[in-house]
Amino acid sequence: MPRQSFQSSNPSQELIQPTEPIQLIQTAREAKRSRPKRKRDWEKLSEHRSRGYRVPNHLRNMVGETHEKTGMRYAIRGIAEHHMTTTSQVAGAMMTYALSELRAGRIKLEAHPQPEGRVMRLDWSIHEDAWAQDIPVPKPRRQRSPLEPKPLYISYRWGRDIDQQIKAVSSSLGVTSGEVVVYLLHHAIQSYRSGRLRLHEAAKVVRQTVSPSW
């Protein structure tokens, strides 16, 4: 009697062929390509754009390095976690408070001239009785030492209005915006520590926001 082959009538009992690893990689790649791209249009809005300010070297310790547990940024991060909100919300509320203190005259910022850092404005004129003049050789650019720390920036997502006020103050004093930001935030943090500035939580759809009161 001839030998017959056996085939199961139940498809679930049929032998499953192993999948090659290369097929899995292609499937994952196709799934990633077909995934809709994440839109970040909200970051393009003026009130959501991050505003960065370069910190002067003599104020680095006051601001604190990125991973250090000291300084202004560390304090703002702790306050944000306490109120279950973002650091930008806390910094924005504190800056609003500090700018109001500045307008009211309760705090004053004074600029100290640095002659070596001034840039002279030049006018020009034509002389008929001209004589030759040499072009000075420019000084070599100062090379940053490998041991010198990289520039430090402080940035938060606060609105254009706050940014414009900061730039107006820095322009009137003739100092950098970063210096104004550091001193105003430092004043706000000191007021928070003393209890004069209190942050009140307001419910929001995703996370909470805070507003200053004094």
> What was the pLDDT predicted at 44?
54
Q: How far is CA 61 from the centre of its chain?
A: 18
Q: How far apart are CA 7 and CA 12, in angstroms?
A: 12
pLDDT less than 70: residues of the chain:
1-48, 113-121, 204-209, 214
> What was the pLDDT predicted at 42?
45
> What was the pLDDT predicted at 149?
78
Cβ neighbour number for residue 83 with a 10 Å cutoff: 18
> What was the pLDDT predicted at 133?
79
Dihedral angle, C-alpha 7, 9, 11, 13, nearest 10 °: -60
The predicted model scores a pTM of 0.65
Closest CA to 106 of 93, 115, 97: 97
